[in-house]
Homo-oligomer: A and B are copies of this chain.
Amino acid sequence: MAAPCFEITARDPGSRARAGVLTTAHGTVRTPAFVPLATKAVVKGIEAREVEALGFDMVLGNTFHLWLEPGHELIAGFGGLHEFMGWDRPIITDSGGFQVFSMGHGTVADEVKGRSPYGSQRDGGVHDITEEGVTFKNPRNGDTVFMGPETSMEVQAGLSSDIALVFDECTPFHVDRDYTARSTERTHRWLDRCLAWHAEHGPREQLVYGIVQGGVYEDLRSEAAAAVLSRDPDGIAIGGSLGAEKAQMYEVVGWATAQLEGAAETKPRHLLGIGEVDDLIRGVELGIDTFDCVTPTRLGRHGVALIPEPAKRFRVDLTAAKYKASTEPIEDGCPCPACSHGHSRGYLRYLAKNRELTGLRLLTLHNLVYLARLMRDLRDAIAAGTLAETAQALRGGAPPSQDPVEVAVPAR
């Protein structure tokens, strides 16, 4: 393990940003990159070959969901997740920890009201968290099931993903420093168990990323980054609570990446669950190489499209009544099917309001194309030494470049 899998090809002189090439068993990922979610072995609404044609090199599969159904043994019988879903490019799988712990963390309201992070047991919730792992009720059938570090790695081995993430506790917002410190230490012990399992049983060509937790506490984040680095994983992911607002999130990510400079700089860095337009731009400046997030695809399925308007959080909610008769496209010049095929905001609104599959697909395509354009612009700018200007322009509302070369939906 820890043979170099990442080559830095260009650096931004004014920030920690770097462009590079991440090499996996199923090919390379041009970074910085956004990684669309293929939660249940599919990017919702899109075929695998379309995802590739849109300009994405890697997708993220969800260990928890695929473990419960159809099961990693069944997928292994197909030859692995790549063969099952018809995607022969890189796949990263999360550890399942986020989903397992989400069931126990209760609602945001519980957290805000200061209840114990595990005190609010909902249906399908967590029964027990021990050093060994987590016991919980399978939300699909009510069975009691257990997931620990070894379970997660075994499932990811069965999926044959190119990059496995170690099993960690994703601490929620508003847990206190003491809980976070104890949780982070356990996450490091779980990291050791994951690496030990993988060394003995894991696919040799599978890369393993450690995960930096530590909540919103600078010393814990720094210690966690150092602790994860000391185990020499193939790459580093940054997870857990990143704070209550964007300024704090950027600060927390910066604490982590600051610890990953220098000798550790060739470890590829993944930021878990972050994918808003301004966050991607700032994350790149902070030295993140890859990002995954449900937001762009989920927004699309809820009728919300990405647009180059920072004052509107880079979003337009097409379900608003004011778009009912709009003959405008989502974004002039956008090469996505929704825009380039002449579909109006009014038509897309009607489809989205009626939950028509075609509308949800078109908005998903638009949002993914937007992020493909954005990330390519950021990569190109780092290579050209113009990231500062490009980031400022994109942040200020300049549309990402419109070159459709990489965003053609393929023929049969």
Contact = CB atoms under 8 A, between A and B. Distances in A.
A182 interface: no
Contacts of A361: 45, 357, 361
B47 A357 contact: no
B74 A347 contact: no
Given A325-B77, A344-B78, A358 B412 contact: no
A69 interface: yes
B358 A69 contact: no
Given A78-B346, A327-B78, A358-B43, A412 B351 contact: no
B335 A412 contact: yes
A275 interface: no
A86 B351 contact: no
Contacts of A353: 69
Contact of A324 (B74, B325, B342, B357): B74
B350 A86 contact: no
Interface in A349-388: 350-351, 353-354, 356-362
A324 to B, nearest CB: 7
A25 interface: no
A340 interface: yes
Interface stretch (A172-180, A284-292, A309-317, A402-410): A402-410
Chain A contact-residue range equals 35 or more
B86 A341 contact: yes
A45 B350 contact: no
Given A410-B411, A412-B335, A47 B362 contact: yes
A70 interface: yes
Interface in A48-99: 49, 69-70, 74, 77-78, 84-86
Interface of A: 40-47, 49, 69-70, 74, 77-78, 84-86, 301, 324-325, 327, 335, 337, 340-344, 346-347, 350-351, 353-354, 356-362, 404, 407-412
Given A84-B344, A357-B360, 7 more contacts: A40-B354, A42-B358, A43-B358, A47-B362, A74-B325, A78-B344, A78-B346
Top 9 A-B pairs ranked by shortest CB distance?
A45-B357, A42-B358, A70-B350, A411-B411, A408-B412, A42-B356, A408-B411, A44-B357, A357-B357
